[in-house]
């Protein structure tokens, strides 16, 4: 009975704390939720004969360290906590999905990743220490997705979005594998999305309008104002494609840049030829455009003020 009683005592957390250097480990266990459901040996001891032998050997090493003073505090408990020990109390973990990001617990377990690799401070943690490994530490194993860095919007997407069905081998890296290309999109560059878009979001898009610079008044336009029905391929670049000439321009050259500029149609920079005293150096009696061009600018008449179209003869 004496041996059995000693064995029962050895299993108690208070026995582990009988050495003062274990105070931190004992006190942190008391403050954790595990103190209500598990004792030290539930996590730090293996079952069976192998576990019994290892526990006794480790106990002898710890006793020697205690009396020799050959240790560093807080004590680092190096025995590996197995997944089976965790699953004994948390059988639902294999199918558990975190509420903030798709962690895929089952996948990690199938790859023999230990629970404590991610949850290594659940019990013996320092004050204000995270009880779950920060997400940026996932890169320790995932190597920052070396072939496809998770930046911008990709940094917050769940694994399932890019790896449907949990299939991680041979995933297509092309944008259109995940993003459906609009039917009215520019032909020929659907696989070069970074020409116009970036990882912070599809909108706003930036397109190199080398052949039609978006400057002055064109700079503030929305794409759909120029590309009707969102058709981008083959859009004409002539001014009359978007700007309907007024009736008084009928019959005139449609090369608008001769009189107007991209800063605005008004004022026009048209230079009129000399016309007697109305236009040019002798312009003593200037008149409005409509006085001479009542209908169209490419048709002029003097009869509105003079008896004929040859005022010199009046």
Cβ contact 114:80 at 8 Å: yes
Same domain (yes/no): 159, 229: no
Cβ contact 17:24 at 8 Å: no
* Domain limit, last residue, from 173, 202, 224: 173
Averaged over 294-305, what is the pLDDT? 83
Class of residue 275 by CB neighbours under 10 A (exposed 0-12, middle 13-18, buried 19+): middle
Band of pLDDT at residue 1, cut at 50, 70 and 90 = very low
Band of pLDDT at residue 261, cut at 50, 70 and 90 = confident
List Cβ neighbours of 261 (8 Å cut-off, separation of 6 or more): 216, 269
Class of residue 85 by CB neighbours under 10 A (exposed 0-12, middle 13-18, buried 19+): buried
DSSP percent split of the chain into helix, strand, coil, nearest 5? 40, 0, 55
For residue 212, pLDDT beyond 70? yes
Band of pLDDT at residue 5, cut at 50, 70 and 90 = very low
Q: In whole angstroms, give the CA distance from residue 210 to residue 224.
A: 18
Same domain (yes/no): 122, 95: yes
Same domain (yes/no): 165, 88: yes
- Structural domain that includes position 121: 84-173
For residue 3, pLDDT beyond 70? no
Identify the CA nearest to 294 among candidates 283, 282, 309, 273.
309
Same domain (yes/no): 181, 125: no
Cβ contact 93:86 at 8 Å: yes
Q: For residue range 62-121, list pLDDT tens digits in order.
A: 888 888 888 887 777 666 788 888 888 888 887 776 666 667 787 788 878 888 888 877
For tokens 């920060």, the residue is 134
Averaged over 2-18, what is the pLDDT? 63
Averaged over 148-170, what is the pLDDT? 77
Average pLDDT along the chain: 77
The number of domains in the chain is 4
Same domain (yes/no): 166, 203: no
* Domain limit, last residue, from 28, 54, 79: 79
pTM of the model: 0.44
């Amino acid at each position: 009975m004496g041996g059995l009683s000693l064995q029962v005592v050895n299993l108690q957390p208070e026995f582990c704390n009988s050495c003062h250097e274990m105070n931190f480990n004992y006190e942190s266990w008391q403050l954790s939720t595990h103190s209500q459901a598990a004792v030290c040996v539930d996590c730090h001891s293996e079952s069976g004969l192998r576990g019994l032998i290892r526990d006794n050997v480790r106990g002898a090493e710890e006793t020697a360290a205690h009396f020799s003073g050959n240790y560093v505090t807080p004590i680092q408990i190096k025995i590996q906590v197995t997944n089976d020990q965790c699953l004994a109390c948390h059988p639902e973990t294999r199918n558990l999905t975190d509420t903030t990001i798709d962690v895929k617990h089952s996948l990690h377990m199938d790859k023999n990743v230990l629970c404590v690799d991610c949850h290594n401070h659940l019990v013996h943690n320092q004050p204000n220490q995270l009880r779950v490994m920060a997400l940026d530490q996932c890169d320790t194993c995932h190597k920052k997705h070396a072939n496809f860095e998770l930046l911008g919007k990709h940094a917050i997407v769940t694994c399932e979005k890019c790896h449907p069905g949990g299939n991680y081998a041979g995933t297509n890296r092309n944008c259109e594998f995940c993003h459906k290309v609009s039917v009215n999109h520019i032909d020929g560059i659907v696989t070069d999305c970074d020409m116009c878009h970036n990882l912070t979001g599809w909108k706003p898009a930036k397109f190199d309008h080398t052949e039609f610079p978006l400057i002055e008044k064109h700079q503030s336009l929305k794409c759909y104002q120029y590309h009707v029905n969102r058709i981008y391929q083959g859009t004409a670049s002539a001014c009359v494609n978007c700007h309907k000439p007024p009736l008084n321009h009928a019959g005139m050259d449609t090369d608008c840049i001769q009189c107007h500029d991209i800063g605005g149609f008004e004022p026009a920079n048209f230079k009129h030829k000399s016309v007697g005293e109305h236009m040019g150096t002798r312009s003593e009696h200037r008149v409005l455009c409509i006085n001479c061009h009542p209908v169209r600018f490419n048709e002029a008449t003097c009869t509105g003020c003079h008896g004929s179209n040859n005022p010199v003869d009046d």
